[in-house]
Structure 1
Amino acid sequence: MIRGVRGAITINQNSEEEIITATEELMERLIEENQIQPEQVGSIFISTTGDINAAFPAKALRSFEGWTYVPVMCMQEIPVPNSLKMCIRVMMHVNTTQAQEEVVHVYLKGAKVLRPDLGSSLAK
């Protein structure tokens, strides 16, 4: 079964270093919480709000051993008025036997407001 594993994190400034570091932190938490192996992942979509453009967040995955061949695509969120700023969102499509309610979604820093009903023990 393919399940969506979601997560988000906010950054303080639009810099390559902060974008990559935050994306690495988010991906590490998603992988750890859900015990994901790269060969289980069909694809990953990463979106950013319009105020983030100093780097492609997908570049963060290049430092993860074994993740070279996982397809990753970056895109920009639609500019909804009054929405959360400086936010990186991830959607991983994972082959898993976990039930929908067992999937752990991770929201870090300012992104916790997006889904306060979801989250993980590590992310809190």
Structure 2
Amino acid sequence: MDLDGVARTLAVSSVTARRWASDGRIPGVRIGGQWRFWAPAVLTRAVGPEAASHVPALPPGHAEPAIVGTAQLAELLGIHEQTVTVLLRKGAIPATKVGHQWRAYWPNIRDRIAAGLPLIDPTEPEAPS
């Protein structure tokens, strides 16, 4: 979910949603200069777990993926595929390069977004790419 989606969901302005994310009042993470959020985590923090149970985590017809490639990761994050590739090369998104293709474990990325944590834990050793 992007910043405007959070603002609509919480019935606040985009400026307020951005301030709440920056202050840590709602969990989110900046990816490629854009805020991204996991809807159930935002609703849990903002209005409680009961509200979050009424909102689907994924759009209808989508299954929770495990291992994702660049294109699917771009779709899940709502950013351009080229931006994802640049962030993968910089090591800003946890993933492994297998041959000529990147592979990422979506549940870890989703959980870090939901907790408002950076996608890469600076205390973890770097994985080979």
Q: TM-score by structure 1 length? A: 0.24
More helix by share: 2
RCO higher in 1 or 2 (8 Å CA, sep ≥ 6)? 1
Q: Which has the larger radius of gyration?
A: 2
More strand by share: 1
Q: TM-score by structure 2 length? A: 0.24
